[in-house]
Amino acid sequence: MPDLYDTDFYAWTREQADLLRAGKLPDLDAAHLAEEIESMGRSERNQLTNRLAVLLAHLLKWRFQPGLRGNSWRLTIREQRRRAARVLAQNPSLAAVLDAILADAYGDAVLMAERETGLPESTFPDECPWTFDQAMQDELKAE
């Protein structure tokens, strides 16, 4: 008989929630439940990585295309800073792995900046030129 987890995920989640609420712990699908909880944690980390990638891409564009700076870039930078800060505030344990997250995000940011600017990848530094705190600063300097 097919497993409800594989055939109707929504129904499986409802069933697991009902079992938890009823205290029927032996009836839980513990292996899949653990897998889904871990997945939720990865999702939060990925959310922060994505926010930082967009932020860093715009910071690269700001630095390397000063003649094209505009309100749209400035507002995207502000928005991504707010969103990244919110993810981190809701998941403070991610602070322990910020360096790794920033490095992952920077790789994506370079690809985005290369695509959006038309500048070659070699234009951009090999490693992120900002620490997390520097990237999150509220001011945009004419670098």
pLDDT tens for each residue of 36-94: 999 998 999 999 999 999 999 999 999 999 999 999 999 999 999 999 999 999 999 99
Burial bucket for residue 34 (CB in 10 Å: 0-12, 13-18, 19+): exposed
The pLDDT tens digits for 14-41 are 999 999 999 999 999 999 999 999 999 8
> Cβ(110)–Cβ(124) under 8 Å?
yes
Burial bucket for residue 101 (CB in 10 Å: 0-12, 13-18, 19+): buried
| Mean pLDDT score, 118-128 | 97
> Cβ(106)–Cβ(127) under 8 Å?
yes
User: 């990237």: which residue's tokens?
Assistant: 135
| Mean pLDDT score, 112-138 | 96
